């Protein structure tokens, strides 16, 4: 099959649109380096577009009607945004779901210690990382510290030009000959990935106490407050244009905030006067990098509960159901029907073919930069273990939708057979019986502190997601 490099077919106007979108994307990445920050930025954008808090509507009891725009947030780390369609919700939603957590270093609950005059914060890495990539690079500290009285202090150190940064030190090559003989997994001890935080005592005050005094004076937090903190060490610095031709983006967290941005942009970009047949929703969740567990992960019932609230408030839904057992059963049955009849794009990035590591890919079934939106019919590993494998009827329908809207797309799998593999949230949503397929952009250096994507692919993703949100019932 012939691949299409989309840069070759863009008009001058499309080139300008690509650059405008890329600028917004880089700002989004800079504003959301943690899942909390990302959800906060998504809500800010939603409110600007006229979205209302679902909880407010629940309290008022006002029914939803076609065209209404609502959102709900769960524990500040997951959210879903709905655009209500013309059809009864039990006929299904059009869902695009992505995760907003990314590999990082979490600060432990008892982290601060002094050793040989240096002050460190102890860390526990989060998600799949290559440990060596995190050494000797500037790091920023982001997060929230919640004190015993319930008040919270937001932390962001290392992002402003005049901010100090943190670092994990590395062994100099002059002393590393013996360690060079070790396997990479043995060379880098996870318990030694501690962040250097300070070195200067202040008069008779030890260096550690000096650091704690800084935190106390600037943020009003005590050492014990680390017990109820959620702090993350992430790469310091802004998302940048990459390449002499400025065709790419180099940034932290593109897996999977590229999908979050693309799907939000597609949903928010739908004209207010446009009537959607099906209710469309953009779902953002946490914890995908560690198995989608926990109250904010896809395995929780957050989305299911939100969908039930939408059905209960939608005209023709369950608002008139009485307290009897039959009514309750009807509500649950209609919710099951709604989820089973839904269609979903599990929006997640794909591994872009890298000629520097060619043997780990199968070229004709790989994703390539600037070749458009990527569909992964299946993921998993070792014989498709743990995979969601989309039905060919669904794939055929998506092909037609993409072609009708002039979206450039490609298909791929994650690397050569038996070279690895991976999973997404697709298999979790597929448990409801809905059609699900993985779909995102290609990324180089996935899970590294700095990842590479194509501006053009991001543009095609927004086009493709908008086409999906606006698609009709027929398949």
Query: Which residue, among 123, 470, 82, has the nearest Cα to 312 in the 3D structure?
Result: 82
Instruction: Say which CATH class 104-235 falls into.
Output: mainly beta
Q: Is the peptide bond before 112 cis (omega within 30 degrees of 0)?
A: no
Pick the CATH number of 6-102+252-469 from 3.40.50.1970, 3.40.630.10, 3.30.1640.10, 3.40.50.300: 3.40.630.10
Task: Supply the pLDDT for residue 1.
Answer: 67
CA of 205: how far to CAs of 116, 224, 225, in Å? 15, 19, 21
- Contact predicate 81/269, CB 8 Å: no
Query: Which residue, among 445, 438, 431, has the nearest Cα to 461 in the 3D structure?
Result: 438
Query: Position of tokens 């989820």?
Result: 339
Paired tokens of 250: 């180099």
Residue ranges per domain, the chain? 6-102+252-469, 104-235
Task: Supply the pLDDT for residue 320.
Answer: 43
Task: Supply the pLDDT for residue 185.
Answer: 74
- The b-or-e profile of 240-251 (16+ CB within 10 A means b, else e) is ebbeeeebbbbb
**3-state DSSP call for residue 349?**
coil
Q: Please tell me the distance from the alpha carbon of residue 227 to that of residue 174, in angstroms, as a whole number.
A: 39
Q: Please tell me the distance from the alpha carbon of residue 165 to that of residue 152, in angstroms, as a whole number.
A: 23
Task: Supply the pLDDT for residue 340.
Answer: 96
Task: Supply the pLDDT for residue 117.
Answer: 95
Task: Supply the pLDDT for residue 324.
Answer: 52
- Contact predicate 409/464, CB 8 Å: yes
Task: Supply the pLDDT for residue 317.
Answer: 47
pTM, 2 dp: 0.94
Q: Count of CB atoms within 10 A of residue 375's CB? A: 22
Task: Supply the pLDDT for residue 414.
Answer: 83
CA atoms within 13 A on the CB side of 205: 13
**3-state DSSP call for residue 63?**
coil
Task: Supply the pLDDT for residue 48.
Answer: 97
Which residues does the chain have with pLDDT short of 50?
316-322, 475
């Amino acid at each position: 099959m012939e691949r299409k490099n989309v840069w070759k077919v863009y008009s001058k106007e499309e080139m300008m649109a690509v650059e405008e979108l890329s600028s917004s994307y880089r700002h989004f990445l800079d504003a959301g380096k943690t899942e909390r920050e990302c959800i906060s930025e998504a809500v800010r954008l939603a409110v600007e577009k006229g979205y209302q808090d679902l909880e407010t509507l629940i309290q008022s009891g006002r029914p939803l009607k076609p065209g209404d725009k609502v959102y709900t947030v769960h524990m500040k780390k997951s959210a879903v945004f709905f655009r209500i369609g013309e059809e009864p919700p039990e006929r299904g939603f059009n869902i695009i779901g992505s995760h907003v957590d990314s590999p990082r270093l979490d600060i432990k609950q008892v982290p601060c210690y002094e050793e040989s005059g240096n002050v460190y914060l102890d860390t526990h890495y989060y998600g799949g990382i290559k440990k060596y990539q995190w050494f000797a690079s500037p790091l920023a500290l982001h997060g929230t510290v919640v004190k015993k009285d319930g008040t919270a202090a937001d932390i962001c150190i290392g992002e402003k030009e005049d901010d100090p940064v943190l670092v994990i030190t590395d062994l100099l090559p002059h002393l590393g000959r013996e360690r060079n003989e070790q396997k990479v997994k043995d060379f880098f001890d996870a318990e030694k990935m501690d962040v250097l935080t300070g070195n200067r005592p202040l008069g008779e005050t030890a260096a550690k106490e000096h650091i704690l005094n800084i935190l106390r004076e600037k943020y009003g937090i005590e050492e014990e407050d680390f017990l109820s903190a959620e702090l993350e060490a992430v790469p310091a610095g802004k998302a940048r244009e990459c390449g002499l031709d400025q065709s790419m983006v180099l940034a932290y967290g593109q897996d999977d905030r590229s999908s979050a941005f693309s799907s939000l942009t597609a949903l928010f970009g739908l004209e207010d006067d446009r009537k959607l047949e099906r209710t469309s929703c953009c779902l953002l969740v946490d914890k995908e990098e560690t198995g989608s567990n926990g109250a904010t992960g896809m395995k929780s019932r957050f989305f299911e509960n939100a969908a039930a609230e939408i059905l209960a408030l939608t005209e023709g839904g369950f608002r008139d159901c009485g307290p009897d057992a039959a009514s309750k059963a009807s509500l649950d049955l209609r919710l099951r029907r709604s989820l089973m009849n839904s269609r979903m794009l599990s929006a997640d990035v794909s591994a872009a073919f890298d000629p520097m590591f060619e043997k780990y890919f199968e070229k004709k079934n790989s994703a390539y930069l600037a070749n458009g939106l990527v569909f992964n019919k299946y993921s998993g590993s070792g014989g498709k273990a743990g995979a969601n494998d989309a039905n060919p009827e669904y794939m055929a329908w998506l092909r037609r939708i993409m072609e009708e809207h002039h979206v450039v797309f490609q298909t791929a799998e994650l690397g050569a057979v038996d070279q690895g593999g991976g999973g997404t949230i697709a298999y979790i949503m597929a448990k409801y019986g809905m059609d699900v397929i993985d779909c995102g952009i290609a990324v180089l250096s996935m899970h590294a502190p700095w990842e590479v994507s194509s501006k053009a692919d991001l543009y095609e993703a927004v086009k493709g997601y908008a086409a999906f949100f606006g698609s009709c019932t027929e398949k």
